[in-house]
Amino acid sequence: MALLDGVDLTNPCLVWPKLQEAYYRLLAGETEVRVRFREREVELAPGSMSLLKKEIAELQAACDRKQGKRARYALRAGFRPRGPGSDFTGW
């Protein structure tokens, strides 16, 4: 039985936890995990970990957007050069 059987694949909030489960199973040492996605069945192996992690992050972001959560981001202060040749005159 594939991991995504019976899951609504149009809902990212239902899909990413299952892919996260596959990721953890691969981390635990399983050699392959079967995932059925739409009409295809895919066998994930430890070599596809980075791709799987990226897909999980994209699905989590899509789920957050669907639920109305805002993306988190950080503000960065600008850099003002000081020293000879700079046009910075101070505050």
pTM: 0.63
pLDDT tens, 11-50? Answer: 888 888 888 888 898 888 888 888 776 677 778 888 878 8
CA distance 81 to 62: 39
CA 81 vs CA 21, 76, 90: distances in Å: 48, 16, 11
Mean pLDDT (the chain, rounded)? 78
Burial class (CB in 10 A: 0-12, 13-18, 19+), 57: exposed
